[in-house]
Amino acid sequence: MTELPDFEALQNSVKAEDFEEDPLPGWAGVATLFGTPTTSADRVDVGEDGWVVSGVPFDATASSRPGAAEGPRAIRQASLVFSSYLTSLGQWRMLDTRTGQSFRYRAPQVADAGDLHVYPTNTVRTFQAVAAESRRLSQSAPRLVFLNGDHSCTFPTFAGFRAGRLDRGAGRVGFINIDHHFDFGNWSTLHGPLYHGSNSRRISEIPQMRPEDMAFVGVGDVTKYDQYRGLIDSGFHIVPGSQLVRDGAAALRPLVEELGSRCDTVYVSLDIDVLDNASATGTGHVTMGGISTGDLLDVYEELRALPVGAVDVAEVAPRYDPSGGTAQIAARLLFEFLFRTECTPPEFAPWSDSASAEPLEQQ
């Protein structure tokens, strides 16, 4: 270009409305989950099968590397790259070339209610506020997404979700903890009974919670022998990460059948450190021997068969991952779980075992 364009003429040749339908790049836009509209917690309207999102930016019980309080904002920001996917891909039947599964993207209504109240130096008051506000959301929203800080936050978000569902007439509420650890500790010298390693135990102690309604998926760290034996003997479900790696996510099917037949709704909690640290560096606990991102995607595909009423993601600490990859993983996982629909088994070789499967012709 040898001369400047006539910018005044260019400016006058368009209207603001001409740009309204164009997507924004992944680093732009209002940082709500997937760029969805905001909503007030006391005036939720997302239809009969929508999702309401809220964050809990709290990490005061971290005992290794703090920073998970920054996770909710990082996941929201990372999710913006997917905000235009639904308009550009939603009309087509899609093929997942990793698994051979076909599906369509569908956009249920999603709204972001912002962050719940936290008090960084007062864990008990934080949990009171989070449980009360989660209960209010659970009373009115069809399904919930919680973007949690450290994993202690799952105790109050689950407690509030469960109470809200019981208010609405639910009978039994199941809980699945996808984590490299059991988080079944009882006491921390640093934090007392409420900390990131006790959330599952505190949930198990909620009145009328039953061991057979709770599951641990992906565990792979060392643990006390007597604790493991006690969990098994008490009736808790355990699917270790090594079993997922060996047998695939099909190892979850007995669990899914049991919880699906017993529970009216299920809450699924994800500690991002279930992934090997080589895949997800942005977390407070450095995990060695965790599962892969592909394994985790497959786990969530199996969980579609359950009446999932709430999901959370915890322990994303972006300061340890300058690439932003860990937050991207969390955002992509939520995107696929919320928006995939009409999922069908593989029908093409080499994914299908069917003798009738034919390879696609070479183009």
pLDDT(359) > 50: no
- Which range, of 170-174, 184-188, 264-268, 355-359, averages the lowest pLDDT? 355-359
Q: Give the tens place of pLDDT for each residue, 328-347.
A: 999 999 999 999 999 999 99
Mean pLDDT, residues 1-13: 79
| Residue 187 confidence class, pLDDT cut points 50, 70, 90 | very high
Q: What is the pTM of this model?
A: 0.92
pLDDT(362) > 50: no
| Residue 27 confidence class, pLDDT cut points 50, 70, 90 | confident
- Which range, of 3-17, 61-75, 307-321, averages the lowest pLDDT? 3-17
Share the mean pLDDT of the chain.
92
Distance CA 219, CA 236 (A): 13
pLDDT of residue 361: 41
pLDDT of residue 16: 79
Distance CA 277, CA 192 (A): 27
Distance CA 348, CA 356 (A): 9
Q: Bridge partners of 283?
A: 316
Q: Give the tens place of pLDDT for each residue, 53-96.
A: 999 999 999 999 999 999 999 999 999 988 877 777 667 899 99
| Residue 220 confidence class, pLDDT cut points 50, 70, 90 | very high
Q: Is pLDDT larger for residue 4 or for residue 182?
A: 182
Mean pLDDT, residues 163-180: 97
| Residue 357 confidence class, pLDDT cut points 50, 70, 90 | very low
Taking each helix axis as running N to C, give the angle between helix 325-339 and helix 293-303, from 0 to 180 degrees, rounded to the nearest 10. Answer: 20
Which of 161, 118, 114, 158 has the alpha carbon at shortest distance from 137? 161
Mean pLDDT, residues 295-311: 97
pLDDT(348) > 70: yes
pLDDT(360) > 60: no
pLDDT(52) > 60: yes
Q: What percent of the chain has pLDDT above 70? A: 95
Do the Cβ atoms of 162 and 190 come closer than 8 Å? no
**Amino acid in the structure at residue 42:** D
Spell out where the chain has E strands.
51-56, 93-95, 102-105, 110-115, 143-148, 173-178, 214-217, 237-239, 265-271, 308-314, 340-344
Q: Give the tens place of pLDDT for each residue, 113-164.
A: 999 999 999 999 999 999 999 999 999 999 999 999 999 999 999 999 999 9
Contacts of 152 (CB under 8 A, 6+ apart): 58, 61, 123, 194, 195, 196, 198, 199
Distance CA 310, CA 333 (A): 14
| Residue 363 confidence class, pLDDT cut points 50, 70, 90 | very low
Mean pLDDT, residues 275-281: 97
Q: What percent of the chain has pLDDT above 90? A: 81
**Amino acid in the structure at residue 84:** S
Half-sphere exposure of 258 (CA within 13 A, CB side): 17
Report CA-CA distances (Å) from 123 to 21, 127, 153, 184, 360: 44, 6, 10, 18, 57
